[in-house]
Structure 1
Amino acid sequence: MRYPIAALALLVLTACEAQPEGEPVARARIDGQEPAAAAPTPEPSATATLASQVESACRSIIFEDTPLTHCLAVPSRHRIAMDLGPRGEAPYRSLTDFARAQDPDTIAFAMNAGMYDDEGEPIGYFVEDSERLQALNTADGEGNFHMKPNGVFYGSDGKWVVRSTDSFLANVTERPEFGTQSGPMLVVDGKIHPTITHDGPSRLIRNAVGVDDNGRAHFVISNAPISFGKLARFYKDELDVKNALFLDGNVSLLWNPATDRLDTGAPIGPIAVIKKKASE
């Protein structure tokens, strides 16, 4: 999200364009209700058939009538890194430009991850390859980032954590291998953020991350406009995640090489990169 100047422009938008979906929405529903009747599924193309043979870390589901894509990073199979742009150069600003610079066979998925200024630079804590590019931001202000408690997603050596900013400041003394700060927290110590309502009027394409008790990182992007409350409930009630962090809204994008999904949209900033570990 461009911040703070572009935030004013975003207020006039009701939702971003629906992102291209590389996977069909699953017929099964995670909320236990009976699914609505669906149109017959067309025969897959040769490209889709080939993509389906590649294991995907992402699945499409429906939660409370809203389609989501849920991508799971597992420490035994994946590494997580942050990327802003080529070293010494300007930020990528799009997943398309980022993807051009990568070997897709090494990437499980990638997603924009944190708020940024008009140049694409992070406005909060940001660590890439153990190098801190932006200090922790504890300032007060307007907008989602300052909807406290906000938080930090970080990790080292396959141990990934989401903490509120205050908890991070009080408990983390060593620089992690990666880190990104955003806000608001969706779920804090098993409870939904105190100012998030059940299903508020703000509905946008949104993405987030949370880490469960088994150390797995759950990345979620909505495929239709969603409220903060519904996204928070998905983490708390369905994924049983005790700490989840909102990453961004209205510019949320996903690259999933396994299904040839490569979202395009407004310029982005920090990118979370989930890489495949080499086979033993």
Structure 2
Amino acid sequence: MKTRTRILSALAALLLPVAGHACETITFEGRGYAVCEARTGEDLRIFQTAPDGRPFGSFTRVNNALRGEGKRLAFAMNAGMYHPDRSPVGLLIEDGVQRKDLVVGPSDGNFGLEPNGVFCIGDRFRVIETRAYAADPPACRFATQSGPMLVIGGALHPRFLVDSDSRHIRNGVGVRADGQTALFVISEEEVTFHEFARLFRDVLKTPDALFFDGSISRLHAPELGRDDIGFPLGPIVGLVVDR
């Protein structure tokens, strides 16, 4: 009964009109999550390559670069797995320029837990399974590939276990069915893949969702008082607004 109440409370909060570029915290099955929302028509970008040609690596460096445009980050988080040199593991499109090719087929770690997928920012938001993307690539101004998929056409990834003992801080993105809203989530506590995916499917109502990363996951959300720090990051997704 308590779990049902928490779910209904979370749904009610998400259905309220959103003022500005809201990030909020919700509770699902006794665990906390931060949820940030972006809508089509807003300036959502993926940041990888700084003006000096090196990876941005941090929210601070992104904000410093945006200052010259009179802009800032409303929120941001890491957006996909990367190699030790901070280059992306999979597809990366940055302002229409493809920086890294799509990776199709077996690979290492969570990224290789197929099916994996692509988050695409174009005329609408999309989370697309990798092989579907390869068969019919949409027009993406920005895109990042990661894995595994969390939710695929309303179903959880088939390899997620209800009783898994693998728990980490995790973050990812889900897209609502109309493609007009993307929801970016980071857990405040260690969670399993199954728990994290069910949040997207059952509470946030996103029929498709993609895992970004675990353990190193970080969030910049000034309205929540968060500017997480740590080791340098690879791709970063962020909502850009006027200063």
**Normalised by the size of structure 1, how large is the TM-score?**
0.75
8 Å contact from structure 2 (residues 112, 148) kept in 1 = yes
- Distance in 2 between residues matched to 1:265 and 1:29, nearest whole Å: 35
Q: Deviations over 1:35-67 (max 9, x none)?
A: xxxxxxxxxxxxxxxxxxx94520011111111
> Which whole-Å deviations, capped at 9, do the CAs of 1:165-223 have from their partners, x for residues lacking one?
01111121x54100000000000011000001124211111100010023200100011
2:84 is equivalent to residue 118 of structure 1: yes
**Structure 2 SS opposite 1:197:** coil
Amino acid at match of 1:30: R
Residue 108 of structure 1 pairs with residue 74 of structure 2: yes
Which residue among 184, 189, 194 is the counterpart of 1:229? 194
Structure 2 gap segments, 5+ residues each: 10-18
Greater share of residues in strand: 2
Task: Report whether the alignment pairs 1:96 with 2:60.
Answer: yes
What pairs up with 1:1-280 in 2 under 5 angstroms? Answer: 30-32=6-8, 55-76=20-41, 78-103=42-67, 106-157=72-123, 159-172=124-137, 175-215=139-179, 216-276=181-241
Contact 1:256 1:262 in 2 (8 A): yes
How many positions carry a matched residue from both structures? 227
8 Å CA contact retained: 1:56, 1:259: no
Q: CA RMSD in A?
A: 2.1
Describe the SS at the equivalent of 1:186.
Answer: strand
Q: What is the alpha-carbon distance in structure 2 between the residues aligned to residue 30 and residue 168 of structure 1?
A: 36
1:270, CA displacement in angstroms? 0.2
Please state whether the residue corresponding to 2:87 is helix, strand or coil.
coil
CA distance in 1, matches of 2:159, 2:35: 25
Deviations 1:1-39 (A, max 9, x none): xxxxxxxxxxxxxxxxxxxxxxxxxxx963259xxxxxx
Q: Output the CA distance in 2 between the equivalents of 1:208 and 1:64.
A: 18
Q: Aligned letter for 2:200?
A: Y
Q: Distance in 1 between matches of 2:219 and 2:5?
A: 22
- Amino acid paired to 1:196: F
Runs of 5+ in structure 1 lacking a partner?
1-27, 34-53
